[in-house]
Chain A
Amino acid sequence: MAEVKIKDMKYSPNPVKVAPGEPVYWVNEEDDEDMVHTATADKGAGNEFDTGNLNGNGEKSKEFTFDKTTSYYCKKHPKSMKGVVEVQA
Chain B
Amino acid sequence: MNEKRKLLVALVILLAGLGGSWAPSVEARGAATPKRLTASLLAKAGLGTASPSDWADPPKLPLEKGPNGELVGTLRVAYAENFLSIDGNRQRLWLRSYNGGLTGPTIEVKAGDTLKINFKNDLPVQDPNCKDTDGEHGMDMGMNMADGVCAHPTKQVFNVTNLHTHGLHISPKGASDNVLRKICPGSGFTYQFDILPAGDPGRGTAKHYPGTFWYHAHNHGSTAMQLASGMSGALIVRGDVDELPEIKAARERIFVLQQLAYDENGQVEDFEKLKNEWKEGQRHTLVNGQAKPLIRMRPNQVERWRLVDSGIFEDLPIRIVNTLTSESFKMYRIAIDGITRPKPEEISEVELGPGYRVDLLVQAPAQSGTYYLYKGESKFSLLGKNTGPRVNDPQILAQIEVAGEPCTSSVPGCATQIPKSLLAPTYMLPDIPQPGETVVQRPTIKFGVEDAEQSLFTINGTCFDSKKPVAEPVLGTVEEWSVKNNTEQVHPFHIHVNAFQMLDAQGKPAEWRDTILVPPGKTVKFRTRFERFDGDFVLHCHILTHEDSGMMALVRVKPKTP
Contacts and interface: CB of A to CB of B under 8 A. Distances in A.
B488 A79 contact: yes
**Contact residues of A: prevailing secondary structure:** loop
A76 B489 CA distance: 11
Contacts of B484: 32
A26 B468 CA distance: 35
A77 to B, nearest CB: 4
Interface string A55-76: 0000000000000000000011
Contacts of A76: 448-449, 452, 487-488
Interface in B431-481: 446, 448-449, 452-453, 461
A1 to B, nearest CB: 29
A2 to B, nearest CB: 25
Interface in A7-52: 8-9, 32, 34-36
A34 B461 CA distance: 8
A83 to B, nearest CB: 14
24 contacts: A8-B521, A9-B520, A9-B521, A32-B446, A32-B484, A32-B486, A34-B446, A34-B448, A34-B486, A35-B486, A36-B448, A36-B449, A36-B486, A75-B452, A76-B448, A76-B488, A77-B449, A78-B452, A78-B453, A78-B488, A79-B452, A79-B488, A80-B488, A81-B488
B278 to A, nearest CB: 19
Contacts of A34: 446, 448, 461, 486
Given A9-B521, A36-B449, A77-B487, 5 more contacts: A32-B486, A76-B452, A76-B488, A79-B489, A81-B488
A77 B446 contact: no
Interface string B472-507: 000000000000101111000000000000000000
A60 B230 CA distance: 48
Interface of B: 446, 448-449, 452-453, 461, 484, 486-489, 520-521
A52 B448 CA distance: 16
**Pairs of residues from A and B, 7 with the lowest C-beta to C-beta distance, nearest first:** A77-B488, A76-B449, A80-B488, A35-B486, A34-B446, A78-B452, A9-B521
B461 to A, nearest CB: 7
A32 B522 CA distance: 12
B203 to A, nearest CB: 37
B303 to A, nearest CB: 40
A34 B448 CA distance: 8
Contacts of B489: 79
A77 B487 CA distance: 7
A32 B447 CA distance: 12
B385 to A, nearest CB: 16
A35 B446 CA distance: 9
B383 to A, nearest CB: 9
A89 B520 CA distance: 38
Contacts of B521: 8-9
B523 to A, nearest CB: 9
A77 B452 contact: yes
A77 B446 CA distance: 15
A64 to B, nearest CB: 22
A79 B449 CA distance: 13
A88 to B, nearest CB: 30
A80 B520 contact: yes
